[in-house]
């Protein structure tokens, strides 16, 4: 395979490749801007507390990592084109941590020149057989599982397809741990009982596509303030829909279209979140401990063979425990649901404990595993 070898991405890749192996034994790869949110506490545990040096390779030009000063982190921007393809093909490191699935399924391959230990870290609490493609995790060596549902699903998948067993770590969910830690900073902040966050997932039949304009209109007419934060793929792929929303609502001072990330003070002070099948709904429920409103649009299925795994996806089994499920035909009910949404989710601590491993401690668990694997590989 030939590569062009020019541009800033290639310069950064060459710079990474020149780093001596002993100085890049642990590498994190960030596919998108959300990756850092899931890596943050784990990286801080490794670099700040344990004093271990890492390399951070990203496809995001303005990745948050570049805003941090950490002598134990070397950062590199390689884009998402052919330079990234070469990065994976010729990678030399002991451990690679990534939150991008489908390794070996498309153009992103395992290294052809070095025995890299590949660790997958989830960017959602959702079940693997429903929100990931078939075989998405088959070519990783170790999986940092969010909860028991992931362990059960992976083992059942291995059994169903006669796959080699992977190393499964009872890890947890770093994004949740960060939000819980952050919530402590906002515990004295007054809640804005008029602030509603709408966070649609991507894919066909998402709530924004199905009933977004009507929903926003109902909320604004009910005197709520609305922050709409579409998935970045909606912003990228549904430009006409986004423009129609901007044209309709941008002059309303109580409406904000957030194309980046939801600001922390807005997240923690908001009254309610409305979503469809986005993983942020589970995060919100566990942090805010008040019910989410789920618009009952069709669930997107990434895996045509999900039915072969005879386990109910967590996002379905937990739905009625942590929220209200509302038909797109009954949007008028939502203002009243929000106004009556003062009651804490019954048994939320037990629901969280039964869903997520090591709440508040995932970074420690993950860092110890990475350290052990790195040391073991160095001694080989």
Task: Residue 293: name the closest of 258, 268, 328 by CA.
Answer: 328
**If you average pLDDT over residues 324-336, what whole number do you get?**
95
**If you average pLDDT over residues 306-322, what whole number do you get?**
95
Do the domain assignments include residue 243?
A: yes
Same domain, 343 and 366: no
Does 5 score more than 60 pLDDT? Answer: no
Do the domain assignments include residue 267?
A: yes
Write the CB contacts of 225 (distance below 8 Å, at least 6 apart in sequence). 192, 194, 195, 196, 254, 255, 256
Same domain, 22 and 160: yes
Distance CA 324, CA 302 (A): 24
pLDDT 10s digits, 11-20: 999 999 999 9
Do the domain assignments include residue 229?
A: yes
Does 366 score more than 70 pLDDT? Answer: yes
Do the domain assignments include residue 180?
A: no
pLDDT band at 1 (very low <50, low <70, confident <90, very high): very low
pLDDT band at 145 (very low <50, low <70, confident <90, very high): very high
The residue segments making up the domain with residue 62 are 8-173+359-379
Same domain, 20 and 167: yes
Same domain, 168 and 206: no
Do the domain assignments include residue 62?
A: yes
Same domain, 40 and 135: yes
Same domain, 214 and 107: no
Same domain, 260 and 337: yes
Convert the chain into a string of H (helix), E (strand) and C (coil).
CCCCCCCHHHHHHHHHHCCCHHHCCEEEEECCCCHHHHHHHHHHHHHHHCCCCEEEEECCCCCHHHHCCCCCEEEEECCCCHHHHHHHHCCCCCEEEECCCCCCCCCCCCCCCCCCEEEEECCCCCCHHHHCCCCCCCCCCEEEECCHHHHHHHHHHHHHCCCCCCEEEECCCHHHHHHHHHHHHCCCCCCCCCEEEEECCCCCCCHHHHHHHHHHHHHHHCCCEEEECCCHHHHHHCHHHHHHHHHHHCCCCCEEECCCCCCHHHHHHCCEEEECCCCHHHHHHHHHCECEEEECCCCCCCCCCHHHCCCCCHHHHCHHHHEEEECHHHHHHHHHHHHCCCCECCCHHHHHHHHCCCCCCHHHHHHHHHHHHHHHHHHC
CATH number of the domain within which 368 lies: 3.40.50.2000
Same domain, 129 and 197: no
Average pLDDT, the chain: 93
**If you average pLDDT over residues 69-86, what whole number do you get?**
95
Same domain, 137 and 65: yes
**If you average pLDDT over residues 221-232, what whole number do you get?**
94
Does 263 score more than 70 pLDDT? Answer: yes
Structural domain count of the chain: 2
pLDDT 10s digits, 87-127: 999 999 999 999 999 999 999 999 999 999 999 999 999 99
Same domain, 219 and 309: yes
Same domain, 12 and 155: yes
Are the beta carbons of 197 and 180 closer than 8 angstroms?
no
Do the domain assignments include residue 182?
A: no
Share of the chain above pLDDT 90, in %: 86
Strands 323-326 and 255-257: unpaired
Do the domain assignments include residue 127?
A: yes
Residue 190: the pLDDT is: 85
Write the CB contacts of 283 (distance below 8 Å, at least 6 apart in sequence). 125, 175, 176, 179
Helices 207-221, 239-249: axis angle to 10 degrees equals 10
Same domain, 150 and 246: no
Single pTM value for the model: 0.92
CA-angle at 37, arms to 236 and 132, nearest 5°: 60
pLDDT band at 378 (very low <50, low <70, confident <90, very high): low
Do the domain assignments include residue 179?
A: no
Token digits for 46? 């490794």
């Amino acid at each position: 395979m030939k590569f062009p070898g020019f541009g800033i991405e290639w310069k950064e890749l060459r710079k990474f490749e020149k780093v001596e192996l002993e100085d890049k034994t642990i590498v994190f790869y960030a596919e998108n801007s959300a990756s850092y949110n899931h890596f943050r506490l784990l990286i801080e545990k490794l670099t700040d507390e344990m004093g271990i040096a890492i390399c951070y390779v990203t496809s995001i030009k303005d990745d948050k990592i570049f805003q941090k000063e950490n002598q134990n982190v070397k950062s590199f921007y390689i884009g998402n084109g052919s330079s990234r393809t070469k990065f994976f093909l010729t990678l030399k490191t002991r451990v690679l941590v990534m939150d991008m699935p489908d390794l070996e399924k498309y153009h992103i391959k395992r290294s052809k020149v070095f025995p890299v230990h590949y660790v997958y870290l989830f960017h959602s609490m959702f079940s693997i057989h429903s929100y990931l493609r078939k075989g998405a995790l088959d070519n990783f060596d170790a999986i940092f599982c969010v909860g028991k549902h992931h362990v059960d699903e992976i083992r059942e998948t291995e059994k169903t397809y006669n796959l080699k067993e992977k190393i499964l770590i009872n890890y947890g969910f770093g994004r949740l741990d960060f939000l819980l830690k952050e919530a402590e900073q906002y515990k004295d902040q007054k809640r804005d009982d008029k602030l509603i966050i709408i966070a649609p997932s991507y894919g066909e039949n998402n709530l924004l596509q199905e009933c977004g304009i009507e929903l926003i209109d109902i909320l604004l007419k009910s005197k709520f303030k609305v922050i709409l934060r579409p998935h970045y793929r909606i912003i990228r792929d549904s430009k006409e829909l986004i423009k129609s929303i901007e044209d309709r609502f941008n002059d309303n001072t109580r409406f904000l279209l957030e194309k980046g990330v939801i600001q922390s003070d807005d997240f923690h002070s908001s009254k309610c979140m409305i979503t469809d099948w986005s993983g942020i709904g589970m995060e919100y429920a566990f942090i805010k401990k008040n019910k989410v409103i789920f618009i009952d649009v069709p669930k997107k299925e990434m895996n045509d063979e999900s039915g072969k795994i005879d386990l109910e996806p967590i996002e379905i089994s937990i739905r009625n425990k942590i929220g209200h499920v509302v038909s797109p035909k009954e949007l008028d009910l939502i203002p009243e649901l929000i106004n009556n949404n003062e009651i804490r989710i019954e048994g939320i601590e037990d629901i969280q404990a039964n869903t997520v491993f090591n709440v508040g401690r995932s970074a420690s668990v993950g860092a110890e595993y990475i350290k052990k694997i790195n040391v073991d590989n160095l001694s080989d």
